[in-house]
Amino acid sequence: MSAKKAQRILIIEDDETQAEMLRHFLVMWGYEIRISLSGEDAVNSLTEFLPDLILLDLYLPGMPGLDALKHIRAVPELVDIPVFIMSADASEEIKIVALSSGGTEFLPKPVPMADLAMKIQTALELLESRRIIEELNHKLEKEKRRLLRYFSADLVEKILNEEIPAQLGGDIMVSSIMFFDVRGSTTMAEKMGPGFFASFISDLFADIMDIIFDNKGSVNELLGDGILATFGCPVPTDDDAYNAIRAAIDIRTYIQNFNSMVTDKVGYGIGIATGRVFAGNIGSIRRMKYAVMGDPVNAAARIQDMTKELNVPILFDHHTFQPCRNRLRANSHGYYKLRGKEEMVEVLGVTEYDPFIGNESLTTRLAVGESGLFRRFLERDGSFEHKD
């Protein structure tokens, strides 16, 4: 186990006797000390000796102490470190000037050593606590950015606030499962070239995921050229089936907008199924994954496959439509035997134009031209063909 690195203190004091006395005292406390006899020398040596705390004489020859302090605070790594300002003039006016100029503490000269040791220890403990908090905040922000790739912002807040458990295990819950698949991705990749295709899929999925999030869904998994999304897990709402269908309609409108502006069209299929699933963390304590498993997952995948067979972009089962039947217009495509299911399943699709009943209206967040996807394809004359 390595020894803890000694904390560094820079003494800026033109009186060599005073400086040596301070150095001798602080070395006994285990600090690494450097002395600068002028403000200029201190400022010029900051890059090679970054201190954790500075003792700064207010009255220095050449560069005054407060001018040196400005240079110190201009160094990003030293913005928040404690700076104790020392002066033989201990009037209230001087104290106010010293502290309002960026000083952390005021010390009268001659410096009382007993008080100095305690104040330095307290200041450095506070500095260490701030650094730990900043590091934790950085890690938390990094984790938040990672979670935002799969969950909506409000759901991420629940996860980070531990309102949703992070241990192994899960729950059985009713959820709507969506499979989104891009058609002809191999042909598209050949036309675009690998670099542009990767960028295209990234932009497309970013926009599709935003639509899912806007409709209170979560992205459980990215499947190469597809997306597995969930509505109702990990946190259920009263409108999960409706939100899933609404997200599908928003995706349809988004892709229709894109296809209306380009020569090469994006083909896709969306399948939705609703029912009881296991949703939770699986794996081991070393590596966990939030997963959904159950008949609705398999059914949604099969129904998505049927969109190609029936030449329609969106299909869903009757369990998804039932909670929405008074709010959406749908067409039945018949009853089908799905793999793993004993009973026949009715498969439905939304009407081509306005599927909403009453005052509902389409609220696709992404307008044509807002996404980098639209802009870059217009620059390519709307073609998938690879261009040097």
Q: What is the DSSP string of 134-201?
A: HHHHHHHHHHHHHHTTTS-HHHHHHHHTTSS--SSEEEEEEEEEEEEEEETHHHHHHHH-HHHHHHHH
DSSP-derived secondary structure letter, 66? H
Q: How many residues does the chain have?
A: 388
Poorest-pLDDT segment among 170-174, 320-324, 362-366 = 362-366
pLDDT at residue 281 in the model: 64
pLDDT band (50, 70, 90) for residue 365: very low
* Average pLDDT score over residue span 187-192: 81
Beta strand 169-183 with 267-283 is antiparallel
- d(CA 244, CA 292) in angstroms, rounded, equals 16
Q: Does residue 79 register a pLDDT over 50?
A: yes
- d(CA 84, CA 347) in angstroms, rounded, equals 75
Are 52 and 8 in contact, with CB atoms under 8 Å apart?
yes
pLDDT at residue 329 in the model: 84
- d(CA 140, CA 34) in angstroms, rounded, equals 36
In sequence order, the β-bridge partners of residue 330 are: 350
* Average pLDDT score over residue span 19-32: 91
pLDDT at residue 274 in the model: 94
Segments of the chain assigned E as strands: 8-12, 32-36, 53-57, 83-87, 105-108, 169-183, 218-222, 226-231, 267-283, 288-293, 314-317, 330-336, 345-350
Domain ranges of the chain: 8-145, 166-379
Are 361 and 354 in contact, with CB atoms under 8 Å apart?
no
Are 299 and 273 in contact, with CB atoms under 8 Å apart?
yes
Place of tokens 């001659």: 110
Q: Does residue 260 register a pLDDT over 90?
A: no
Sign of torsion over alpha carbons 85, 88, 91, 94: negative
Are 296 and 304 in contact, with CB atoms under 8 Å apart?
no
Radius of gyration of the chain (CA): 32
Are 93 and 116 in contact, with CB atoms under 8 Å apart?
no
Of 252 and 363, more confident: 252
- d(CA 171, CA 169) in angstroms, rounded, equals 7
On the CB side of 221, how many CA atoms lie within 13 Å of its CA?
14
Are 297 and 176 in contact, with CB atoms under 8 Å apart?
no
Poorest-pLDDT segment among 2-16, 39-53, 114-128 = 2-16
CATH number for the domain running over 166-379: 3.30.70.1230
Among 162-171, 224-233, 346-355, which range has the highest average pLDDT? Answer: 224-233
Q: Average model confidence (pLDDT) for the chain?
A: 82
pLDDT at residue 366 in the model: 47
Cβ within 8 Å of residue 29, ≥6 positions away: 117, 120
DSSP-derived secondary structure letter, 357? -
CATH number for the domain running over 8-145: 3.40.50.2300
Q: Within 10 A of 1 (CB to CB), how many other CB atoms are there?
A: 3
pLDDT, tens only, 114-153:
788 889 999 998 888 888 888 888 877 777 777 676 666 6
Are 50 and 9 in contact, with CB atoms under 8 Å apart?
no
pTM of the shown model: 0.60
Strand, helix or coil for residue 317: strand
